[in-house]
Amino acid sequence: MLLLLAIALAVYGTAQYYSQSLILFVVEQTLLQRSPSGTDPGLLRRRLETHLAASPSQESKMEELLNLSMRLEKVQALAPEEIEELLK
């Protein structure tokens, strides 16, 4: 029983530690998939990093990632103007 509790705590701790990285990966991939063809993936990644770097704390960065995720969930394709709006 104690072993099961230790494993559960380890899994929970690992999930907490990697959750922001996982959400960042999903948002980044979604942006790349829904951006217009010909969009430079490196530039888009740098823009996302710059956008998130403006967040004053890890908590606000996580909130912004979740906000971006919800907004991206609603669109099938992004126009250049929509990318500008998301990453302003």
pLDDT score at 15: 67
pLDDT score at 36: 93
Q: How far apart are CA 52 and CA 61, in angstroms?
A: 6
pLDDT score at 10: 77
For the chain, the maximum distance between any two Cα atoms, rounded to a whole number of angstroms, is 55
Residue where the block lists tokens 């960042």? 24
Backbone angles phi, psi at 77, to 5 degrees: -145, 145
pLDDT score at 69: 92
Per-residue pLDDT of the chain (88 residues; tens, 9 = 90+): 778 877 877 777 776 777 888 899 999 999 999 999 999 999 999 999 999 999 999 889 999 999 999 999 989 999 999 999 989 8
If you count them, how many residues does the chain have? 88
